[in-house]
Amino acid sequence: MSNEINPNAAVLNARDLMAQKDRIENEILEFEGILRGQNIGMHEPLIDSSGFPRDDVDLVAVRTARARIIGIRLECR
């Protein structure tokens, strides 16, 4: 048994990893697009100055997008 790396296997593995990276980046971009569509980012408050939920954003969509972005970033560490 040798420790040699099969060049073809290494190339295929690299391609698989690049495709996985592209899928992850596209998923993040999709969720960031949801946030942009709501005119909100990752850190703006979801409550108004009176402490009530904002009525100018879809809170479920924003919270879901934020949670997925955070989850994806943590998985990639």
Q: Where are the domains of the chain?
A: 7-75
Structure tokens given for 19: 């495709």
pTM of the model: 0.81
pLDDT tens string, the chain, 77 residues long: the values are: 556 778 888 889 999 999 999 999 999 999 999 999 999 999 999 999 999 999 999 999 999 999 999 999 998 87
Distance CA 48, CA 62 (A): 15
